[in-house]
Every structure is written in C-alpha cells, then in structure tokens.
Structure 1
Amino acid sequence: MQSLIRALTAALTAGLLVGVSTPGVASARTDPQGGSSTTQEAIDWKPCAQDATAECGTLRLPVDWAHPSGGTFDLAVARRKATDPDRRVGVLLVNPGGPGASGVQFAVADAKSHFSPDILERFDIVGFDPRGVGASHPVKCSTELLRQQPSVYPRNQVEFDRLADFNRALREDCRRHTGPLFDHADTLSVVRDMDALRRSLGEKKINYFGHSYGTLIGEQYAEEYGDRIRSMALTANIDHSLGAREFLVSSAATAEDSFHEFVKWCDRTSSCALHGRDVTAVWDRLLAKADRGEIRDPQSPDRLLTAHAIALFAFKKFYGPYWDELATYLAGLDAQEPNERRGSEQPRQAEPPLSQNADQQTTAEPFYAVFCQDWSIRAKDYREYAKLTRAEVGAAPHLRGSPRVHAAVAGCIGWPDEVNNPQHRLRMTEAPKILMLHSLHDPANHFAWAAHVHRQTRGTTVLLPYEGAGHSVYGRSDCTRDAVDDYLTELKVPSAGSSCAPATGN
C-alpha cells in the first residue's frame, strides 16, 4: 500500500483554458487557484430530449487539470429548475453513485420522484455525468474482450497471472478506445470539474446531495473547496482511508450482516417463501449444489449458476431490501429437480456488466477506470491475494465475501501501482456543517465507514444513523427525509445522538 498521505495532483498552470464555444457547449475558464474569472461563460441550456421540462447542456473542460491548455471533453449536464422561484434557495448538485451512475439521468428522470416537493420547489436540481460516464466522454472498451474475463477467484498463481494479464490487456484496450481521458477518470478530477460547473452556473456556493460513491465526490469537494459549500448531504458514505484488507473485510462483513437481517426477517414474516424453514441451511445447501454444477439459471435453463452468481443476486436484493423477491428466488432454486436434463455442463461465470447492446463493438464501462485510479489496492501475487480472500471469506462465511467489492479489487490486479487519487484521511478545514446519513445494515457500505469518516471530520460532519436495512437512505422514512429536507432548506442539523428508527417492515 502507498502511504495514506494524499498525493495531490499538480496545481493548475497559470495559463487559462480557452475553449471553443459551440451550441450547447461552454468553456470553463479558471485562474490558478480555481476561482472565478471575469470571462466565465454560462451553459447554453436546451430542452432535454427525454423530458422537455428539464434542461440539458454541456460544459467544455480540460481532460487533465494539471495541464488545462491541453485536450478537452464535454461534461454533460442537466437541470430541473426550482418550481417556486420566489422561494428558491440555490442549486442542488446531485450524484447518485456508482462509480458509473448518470447524474444527468437522475436529474431528468428520477429527481421528481426521489426528492420531496419542498426540495423541488426550492432548488434547481443539477445533475452531471462525471467524466468517463454516460454522455461525458464515456470510457469504452471492446465488448468481446469484456466477455473474455477469467474468473475473479483464481485458485493458484497460474490463474492469478491469467487474471492480471487480462486486466492489463483490458486496460490498454479501454485506453485505446477512450483516449487520454481514460488516465484522468479519478474522483479528484471530477471534483475539479464540479467546481468548474459551479462557476459556470454563476453560483458562489453550492448545495450538494451525494449517495454512495457520490459521497466520495462530496467529501473530496469539501476538502478542496469547502468555502464554496452552503450545504452538503451525504448518504451511504464511503471511507476513502481504508487499506486493502480493511476494505475487503469490512465490505464482506456488512454483506454478511445483511444476509442475517434477511434470515431474521424470514423467520418472523409468514409471507416469506422460506418461512418456517432453516433459511441459513437452505442457503448453504444451494451454494454447495452450485459448486457441484447442479443449479440451473431460471432465466436460461440451459446454463448453470455458480455460487458467486447466486450470492451476487442476493447482494443486489439486499440493496432495497427486496427480501420477499430474494426468498421466492431461493425457494425456486431449492425446488429444482436434481435429475432434470441440463444444458451446458460448465458453471456459468459472472460476467462484467455491459452498459450497451452486446452486438456493438465497444461497450461503455467506466467502473474500473474510476475505481482503480481512486484506490491503491493491488495484490502482487497469488499468495497475497489468497490471504486477502481468506480474510474476506472469514468475515462472510455464508456470502463468501462481498461479491461486488471482491470483483472490483480483482479488476485492479495487474494495473500500475501509482494511482491518481490514493486513499487518505479526510482533512476539511473550511467546510460548513455536513449532514451524513447511513443505514446500520447497509449491504455495501459498512456503517463503520460513516462512523470513521465522522471521527475524521468531527468538527464538520453530523452523522444521523438509520437503524434499518438497505442501501438508500433519504426516502426510507419521514425521519430520514425530513432530516435532509430541513438541513438543505434551513440548515438545521439533527441533535447529537439522534437516529431514525427502522421503517415499517424493515
């Protein structure tokens, strides 16, 4: 691991970026300190094609903020203006997480149902696709190569080397299809893009709502530009100070905790498809059968499911949580007849998520470009990797680790050691009070992450625990929603030691 002391990217050069203005595109001019310039141009807003009640545009920005006079890309932006202009507070920049989720899509399609009427009345909701994501010069890779990914569970040094070779080949393929931006997809670069967006919007201070990986954007923006924040609400928080073992083990432990919450729900809920049975025993038996190649995919009966695929399905259902759907799915797998004719005799391997149609030559795939430039986590050989995996499985014996985080860490094997945005403890010196919310039983982001971030920034952050399950937090209950709304609109923060009770049925 590299030192946790932050390796900041080079300061902006004294020269100004001079972009060419085209319809729907504005140039973001900056001084060396990132402050506003007297010639700042605004975004040329147009009605969005998907929904004309929202506005869309682009902002031309440097690919490399250390060399702003070099290449540029267009940052895609969407805005849903405050519905009560007389009560307007300001802009609310939003990021729904990922890495890889579209802020534009969120602002255009999701914000109206996600936020309360009061937030929609009083804020311009502004979403942007982070660099490399969505319509902001997406990272692209060869579709066929993505489908050739070997198992992320190598069993020896030969298989470890095969995975490392694949990751290196995929990295070079994605760099070739994406161009120079691939090497600058890290969150610190996104933070600088976000401040350029603030200037382009003509705002001295912003409000920000970030979820999951979007909290890392918020945390680092608060470090870099804390005096330019009016309010910031962060849900399902990321702790960017963790080393490899801490990251893997805590991710596995919180996934395992969500499994136990599911089991307890099923034990007390008569409508659960596995109610009255030993759910843990059913689960363990299913994974053992999958290991032997005896579980077929209900969606593709000619293919077999691996234990990893079943665990990943469950992990995604924990996000809701959608426990009833998970129970029904597991009951269906358990009811399969062992002697029914099978198609493929090879267990189905987990495939990387493809963001576009498989018949296209390239696929938008930003996850590893972002994650592997934000986290200095590189197992050097199979021995080190196996040690990490044993610790991970030890923390989650039923889930066998965290399916998503394991795959994320495995995807960085073979990448260069140096990263643009390595882990570090947060240092916020000029930010106002920041509100953090986090579920006690979050399947993906351990509650300890939020507690640790809060300890690092105790003078700046206020942590409100939600005592239930699930990954999303804001709309979980009146308590969670009102806490965020009161904070964003009136800057009221919850009292120390307060929390929100689990929602009904949770």
Structure 2
Amino acid sequence: MAGFVLAVSTAGAASAQPSPTPSIPAAVDWAACGDNGGECATIKVPVDYANPSGGSIDLAIGRHKALNPAKRIGVLIAHPGGPDSSGIDTFINRNLIPADSVLRQYFDVVSVDPRGVARSNPVKCDVDVLEQEPSAYPANESEYQAWLAFNAKLSQNCRERTGPVFDHVDTTNAARDVDSIRAALGEKQISFFAISYGTQVGQQYAELFPQNIRAMAIDSNMDHSITSAFRYLQTTTEDFEGSFRAFVKWCGETEACPLNGENVTAVWDGLHRRAAEGTLKDPSTGAAISAERLRVLLFRAMYNPAASWFDLATTLKALEAGKAAELPTVATPKAESVSYAYPTIWCSDWKWQVSGFKELDEYRKRLEKLYPHTKISPFWTDVVYCLNWQGKATNPQHRLDISGTRPTLMPKARYDIATPAAWNYAAAAQIPKARILEYDGVGHGQYRNSTCARNHIETYLTSLKLPPRGTHCASQYPSQPPTSVRAAEEQPLSVTGRPLH
C-alpha cells in the first residue's frame, strides 16, 4: 500500500480552482492482479477534500503498462461508467481496451474503482432492505408513498453500513480523485478516456483541472445540466423508441433475423399488451412477466446490437409462440450486505423537483402518448430513486464552466438509450473546442460498437488529430448471429438488476 502527501483546495464547488501539484509523490506499490497481466495498487485520498485531515480512504487503481515503452506517450486514465462500475474489472481484468489497441501500445492504461465502488470503500447496504424495493413506476398514491419510504430506509441503511464516505461520493470528488491519481503517478498531464457515466467525471475534471489534460475523448456523454425531471425522462425514452424502430428496420432487412418477414412492431406491441394485462407468462416457470421486465429485456438489447439483437429477436419469437425463452434474471445475494453504490452516487449528483404522485403520473401519461411502443425508459428510476433520499445532493446539476482545455472528442450514436443524442449535443455546447463524432447507428459506447469510431478515438488520443467536423461513421449492425461475446462487452447491471449508464 502506498500513500502520498496531497495538497488540496478547501472549496467544494465544481468551479473551484485546483490545488497545487505535489512535487515529490511517494512511490506507488504495484502488484500483479487478475489474469490479464495487470497490476493493482492503492493510494490514500481524503474522505472529504474540503477537510483533508479528517480521514482518508484507500482508492484502488489498476494499470496495464505500455506495451511499447520506447514510444510511451504517458498515462491514459480510463474511467468506468455506472455510476456503480469497477474500472479495474472493466479495463484491467476484462480489457475493454484490447491488447491489440494502439492505446495499449503507447499508454500506461490506468483505471480506478471510484470511491464507494468495489475495492474503494464500497457503499454497503443490507440485502433484506434492498429486497423491499418496489418493482415498478408508481401507479397510484400508495405506490408513490411506498417508494418514498423505501428510499428513506435504504439511504439511512446504506449510510450506517458504509461510514463517512457515504456523504462524499459525488462526481466532484471522483474528479478530484482522478487528479490525485495523476499526482501519485508523478505525471504533469494525463490523457482521459471514458464511456457513459465516466464522461461526467471527465467533464468535471476539465472544469477543475483543465491544464492537466493532454487529450480527452469522452464517449456517449451525460448532460449534467438537465434540471427538469420530465426532460430527463423524455430524452431517454425518445432514444429508446428510436432504438426500437431501428431494430424493427434491421430485422426486416436481415434474412437471418428470427423475426424476418413478420410484423415485428405488432409482435412487440402484442407481447407488451399481454404483459401489462398480466397474461404474458414465462413458459419455463409459469410466472407472469411484467411489462417492466419486458421493457428491461428490450432496453438491455439496445446497448450493443452486435451482441444482443439476434438474441432479442429469438426471445420475442419464443414468447409469442409460448415457448421457453431466456429472460434476464437477478440472483438474490446470500450475503448479509452487498455493495450498492448506484443511488448513493446518483442522488449526490442529481436533485429533482417533483411535487408528488400527480406530477409523476402526468409524466408517464405524456410519455406513453409520445412513444407508444416503448412507453417509458427503465431509467425512470434515476428520478424516482432520489425522491426522499436522505443523502445530500452535494453536486447538483449545473452548466459546465470550462476554459483552457485542449479539444475534446465526443463520439455519440444516432440513438443511445443510456446517454441520448440530445445529451451529447447539449454537453458539447458547454465544452469549448468540443468535436462531435457521429455514429449513425444504435448503441451505447461507440468505441465498442463502431470500428470507425474506435479508430478516430485512438487516432486522437495518440496523435491529437481530430476527425474533420461533420464526420459520420456508418451504422454497423450484425448480419449473422455472433459466435461468442466477450465478458467486457456485456452490459453490466446494478445489484437490483437495473441497467447502468
């Protein structure tokens, strides 16, 4: 274990000035970890950067050293999404950036388990409390009150189980942790790459430490300036509906699709209607399949079409025929408590003004009229989780205030159910010298979904050469079922079975 003396600013706001860089960092004690040649270590960071003498936590980091050290450019911080994902698992143990990437050749790829996650003082909650979570969008006042009571109980339980870091897991602190990693490694500047929720960390890092960035590519972007709960739900559902329409079109044009030649929209609408009525059964168990569970099945398939669309079509066809089908399930943890950082981090970053059930129900009705096939994004929980949450929103929504950075490359998809197109455009408008890279297909994380996007991302991070303005990457959909799917390509779920950003 290694520590270092960290000079910090006492200001907590995202626009605060960065602290001085330590001149002589202590050595980081790396040790082999995982099965892919990675190394892991811990560094000590303050629980509260506004009170650096008030205690510390061990922040877990991992790295792959540059495979071509003679041409090493520096350190690339690869930040995970989530906000409940492990960077060590994603980038070090499972190699989301593969060994044949030029990024692995010329950078020390370094990632982190963000504070509150996995190996970095995880947020802990009791399993018996988590099992009380309501399963659906509230349909009446009683169900709305049940959500409020659950959120209060869960947040209090998690704080008791976790300790002081519970109140210091927001994205501003995660961004400061990134700079603590830079300082511990003795680097004057870092390059930064992230997908999904990690883009918000990158955006706020650029606010706090613009001079410490050599290059930044943030893929599938959050927009932390959204203050309207309805706007949040509307944008996510808009891209959910668009993704579904693209799936229908693909299936009609792809002979190998199991539903090719059928009216895919009618198949889906019929299944959803039966699920809403309580008459759609799981053929393998006889249990009813809820409309929420069916929408999550569709939703998850839209992260990575190459890995999921054939399976989705197969499942829908089987359900329509009343045959056994594989549906997403979540095993109940057997431990007394479990790591569950998602709502704690999320509700530190997002505060919603919702007056009560009537307003929330009006959101649902409006969305169902606008998006008749998909109804409402499963990320409605991002709003509902924070209603009556007992932790403080220490990093609430704000427009970015960035200056002095190099150009930022921002790949996005035509339809992205986790970070919609509208978010990417809005975030880019707040970042000086932002360069949008358009992927004309469906998916989340264009580094994975598009060879063209991956090439542009790698070119920029290594050479600082941006794609020309207006560059588009063509959609890249499968024509045949995949033979296998790497674990790193599977969309992670929270402990409750809900998708992560």
Q: What TM-score, normalized to structure 1?
A: 0.88
**Quick one: which amino acid aligns to residue 148 of structure 1?**
Q
Q: What does residue 465 of structure 1 align with?
A: 438
Moved more, 304-313 or 386-395: 386-395
Please say if residues 304 and 449 of structure 2, whose CA atoms lie closer than 8 Å, have aligned partners that are also in contact.
no
How far does residue 408 in structure 1 lie from its aligned partner after superposition?
2.1
Distance 2:183 2:172 in 1: 17
How far does residue 474 in structure 1 lie from its aligned partner after superposition?
1.1
How far does residue 253 in structure 1 lie from its aligned partner after superposition?
0.5
Please say if residues 29 and 39 of structure 1, whose CA atoms lie closer than 8 Å, have aligned partners that are also in contact.
no
Q: What does residue 448 of structure 1 align with?
A: 422
Distance 2:95 2:407 in 1: 24
Distance 1:84 1:268 in 2: 44
Q: 1:388-407 alignment to 2 at 5 Å?
A: 388-403=363-378, 405-407=379-381
Residue 275 of structure 2, aligned match among 266, 284, 290:
290
Question: Aligned-residue CA RMSD in angstroms?
Answer: 2.1
Moved more, 28-37 or 429-438: 28-37
**Quick one: which amino acid aligns to residue 124 of structure 1?**
D
Please say if residues 376 and 417 of structure 1, whose CA atoms lie closer than 8 Å, have aligned partners that are also in contact.
no
Distance 1:187 1:365 in 2: 16
**Quick one: which amino acid aligns to residue 231 of structure 2?**
E
How far does residue 38 in structure 1 lie from its aligned partner after superposition?
3.6
How far does residue 279 in structure 1 lie from its aligned partner after superposition?
1.1
Distance 2:96 2:162 in 1: 33
Please say if residues 221 and 412 of structure 2, whose CA atoms lie closer than 8 Å, have aligned partners that are also in contact.
yes
How far does residue 149 in structure 1 lie from its aligned partner after superposition?
1.0
How far does residue 504 in structure 1 lie from its aligned partner after superposition?
5.1
Please say if residues 378 and 412 of structure 1, whose CA atoms lie closer than 8 Å, have aligned partners that are also in contact.
no
Moved more, 321-330 or 269-278: 269-278
Alignment deviations for residues 328-371 of structure 1 (CA, whole Å, 9 cap, x no partner):
0011111117xx9xxxxxxx9x99x67xx611000111100011
Q: What does residue 470 of structure 2 align with?
A: 497
Q: What does residue 343 of structure 1 align with?
A: none
Structure 2 residue 151 is the aligned partner of structure 1 residue 174? no
Q: 1:320-399 alignment to 2 at 5 Å?
A: 320-321=304-305, 322-336=308-322, 358-399=333-374
Secondary structure of 1:132 counterpart: coil
How far does residue 446 in structure 1 lie from its aligned partner after superposition?
1.1
Q: What does residue 21 of structure 1 align with?
A: none
Q: 1:198-277 alignment to 2 at 5 Å?
A: 198-243=182-227, 244-277=229-262
Secondary structure of 1:406 counterpart: helix
Secondary structure of 2:472 counterpart: coil
Q: 1:26-105 alignment to 2 at 5 Å?
A: 26-32=3-9, 33-48=18-33, 50-51=34-35, 53-105=37-89
Q: 1:405-420 alignment to 2 at 5 Å?
A: 405-416=379-390, 418-420=392-394
The alpha-carbon distance between structure 1 residues 360 and 100, as it changes in their structure 2 partners (threshold 3 A), is same
**Quick one: which amino acid aligns to residue 454 of structure 1?**
A
The alpha-carbon distance between structure 1 residues 332 and 52, as it changes in their structure 2 partners (threshold 3 A), is closer
Please say if residues 82 and 198 of structure 2, whose CA atoms lie closer than 8 Å, have aligned partners that are also in contact.
yes
Secondary structure of 1:167 counterpart: helix
Alignment deviations for residues 211-250 of structure 1 (CA, whole Å, 9 cap, x no partner):
0001001011011101100011111111111121211100
Distance 1:207 1:191 in 2: 14
Q: What does residue 497 of structure 2 align with?
A: none
Secondary structure of 2:22 counterpart: coil
Structure 2 residues without counterparts, runs of 5 or longer: 10-17, 480-501
Q: 1:136-155 alignment to 2 at 5 Å?
A: 136-155=120-139
Distance 1:60 1:37 in 2: 14
Distance 2:123 2:96 in 1: 28
The alpha-carbon distance between structure 1 residues 52 and 474, as it changes in their structure 2 partners (threshold 3 A), is closer
**Quick one: which amino acid aligns to residue 329 of structure 1?**
T
Secondary structure of 1:111 counterpart: coil
Please say if residues 25 and 185 of structure 2, whose CA atoms lie closer than 8 Å, have aligned partners that are also in contact.
no
Distance 2:265 2:120 in 1: 44
Structure 1 residues without counterparts, runs of 5 or longer: 1-23, 341-347
How far does residue 391 in structure 1 lie from its aligned partner after superposition?
3.0
Please say if residues 347 and 391 of structure 2, whose CA atoms lie closer than 8 Å, have aligned partners that are also in contact.
no
Distance 1:202 1:395 in 2: 52
Residue 191 of structure 1, aligned match among 159, 163, 175:
175
How far does residue 396 in structure 1 lie from its aligned partner after superposition?
2.6
Secondary structure of 2:344 counterpart: helix
Alignment deviations for residues 264-309 of structure 1 (CA, whole Å, 9 cap, x no partner):
11111222222222111111111111123222335x5142210110
Q: What number of residue pairs does the alignment pair up? A: 466
**Quick one: which amino acid aligns to residue 367 of structure 1?**
Y
Distance 1:336 1:251 in 2: 31
Distance 2:4 2:71 in 1: 30
Residue 130 of structure 1, aligned match among 94, 114, 120:
114
Secondary structure of 2:287 counterpart: strand
Q: What does residue 8 of structure 1 align with?
A: none
Q: What does residue 421 of structure 1 align with?
A: 395
Distance 1:282 1:112 in 2: 35
**Identical aligned residues as a percent:** 37
Q: What does residue 25 of structure 1 align with?
A: 2
Q: What TM-score, normalized to structure 2?
A: 0.89
Please say if residues 378 and 415 of structure 1, whose CA atoms lie closer than 8 Å, have aligned partners that are also in contact.
no
